[in-house]
Amino acid sequence: MTLVWGDETLSWQDVVQVARHNAELTLSASAWQRIAQGREIVEQIVASGHIAYGINTGLGALCNITLPEVQLSQLSRNTLLSHACGVGPLLAREQVRAILCAAIANYSHGKSGVSVALVQHLLALLNHQITPQVPSQGSVGYLSHMAHIGLALIGVGDVEYQQQIVSAEQALAQAGLTPYRPGAKEGLSLVNGTPCMTGLSCLALDDAARLLDWADVTGAMSFEALRGQLVAFDAEVIALKASPGMQVSGLRLRQLLSDSPLLAKSVGVRTQDALSLRSMPQVHGASRDQFDHAARQVNIELNACTDNPLVLGTVDNWRVVSQANPHGESVAMAADLLAIAMAEVGSIAERRLDRLVNPLVSGLPAFLVAQPGVNSGMMIAQYVAASLCAENRQLAQPAVLDNYVTSGLQEDHLSLGTGAALKLLKLVGNVWQILAIEYLLAAQALDFHGEAELAEGTKQALRRLRAEVANWQEDRWLAPEIARAVEVMKNGVC
């Protein structure tokens, strides 16, 4: 599959296709023309000796130091070397690729002033599956992650290539590529902008979209196993709140459960259910609404020019403008908001699965095992879910509210958007585990009722899991089965 960017509006799904699913990426003819024109403006500025920040000056607090033309390529190289000072665990392969995608999207507008050759080299990294090794920590919004990616372009550092970790120089040679020599402004453009937070947020959106659908499925299974009162999802009632997300989740829950013989027999067994059961449309729906807002903000950023300075106009009538488009506040806020929403999806799921293992409210054997006592059953799986929810409460604290002063007071308000996106990715990873535990427990609970009593939708979800994980008769190693449940969810359409 090949994607051509440059003529149409991009979406986070486009980034996911390249970063996660290895689609080949290229740019349209008009995108290449825009890039070439922007570079021509930069070359004219350099030749004329006109002073322009980032083109022939120092960077950050050194912006008032002007440099001769012979030093500009060295400045770009030095920028990559000095800014590549990240620490901590390495980013995953798909995360680095997502950042690369967002950077290429930014350059495709032709407002950064980078050369056609630079963008071609970035595309070559993607399409030849050369993935720079990038430490995950050290960004207040930009700089360090992209600097490590830039090192690979110039043949410095290590990369993953053909499932091995090798030097960038070796990988480039084996792929028939040569190290790139960055020119004026290109070092700054490589580390600037918002591709880190934007690319990472695209991956988080992909996870969150699938988790929101699965939450309706595992929630429906728990609801049916606990003999919930389906009237809470009545279409007329749900329509009284004009939340688009609530309408979606309400409809999905009705579709999953409306033909359940068990629920038909359970009408009136209680006046109302616990809120973790009857408020699923409201909670899942609110999270869907926040997802839609976050996706809109990420898509706006993905299609934005986020470099500083920006090169505007034509070769005959140009401007170089220093501004703050790389700040990334909107993406940072969106990632923080989505983190809160997805933490709530996990939190309400943990409350549901806790009810499944509690015989005082479930009407089922304690901890969902036929012979409790000698068997602990699903007891500790609920502990794990509770632990993950506790961690998610920490991860859902807003990163954007933090602030630090950098670059000698020159950069004195920061978005912390890359940190927001990274903790969002960790949080949604936890939600996969929480919903997988609910999936296992709800399936075990439904087995006690028997397939003949189940709705068609929940029956299909149960069968999908049972193809990989057998019913529990007595205790066995549970950790691998949680992992298999996660894989069933990630690989399946719900």
Q: 211-220: string of b/e by CB count within 10 Å (b at 16+)?
A: bbbbbbbbbb
Closest-CA residue to 128 (of 180, 181, 171): 171
Phi, psi of 479 (to 5 degrees): -55, -45
Residue with tokens 């499925």: 217
Closest-CA residue to 354 (of 278, 277, 282, 429): 277
Taking each continuous run of H as one helix and of E as one strand, the counts in the chain are 20, 9
Residues 363-368: contacts with CB within 8 Å, 24+ apart? 363/226, 363/227, 364/225, 364/445, 364/448, 365/448, 368/441, 368/444, 368/445, 368/448, 368/472
DSSP state letters, 229-298: -GGGG-HHHHTTS--HHHHHHHHHHHHHHTT-HHHHHTTTSSS---HHHHTHHHHHHHHHHHHHHHHHHH
- 420: buried, middle or exposed (CB in 10 Å: 19+, 13-18, 0-12)? buried
Say which of 53, 161, 180, 439 is annotated catalytic.
53
Phi, psi of 294 (to 5 degrees): -60, -40
DSSP 8-state assignment for residue 451:
G
- Within 309-403, residue ranges assigned H as helices are 329-357, 359-362, 379-395
Closest-CA residue to 42 (of 194, 179, 186): 186
Dihedral, 426, 430, 431, 435 alpha carbons, nearest 10? 160
Told to judge if 439 belongs to the known catalytic residues of this protein, a careful annotator would answer no
Q: Which residues are catalytic?
A: 53
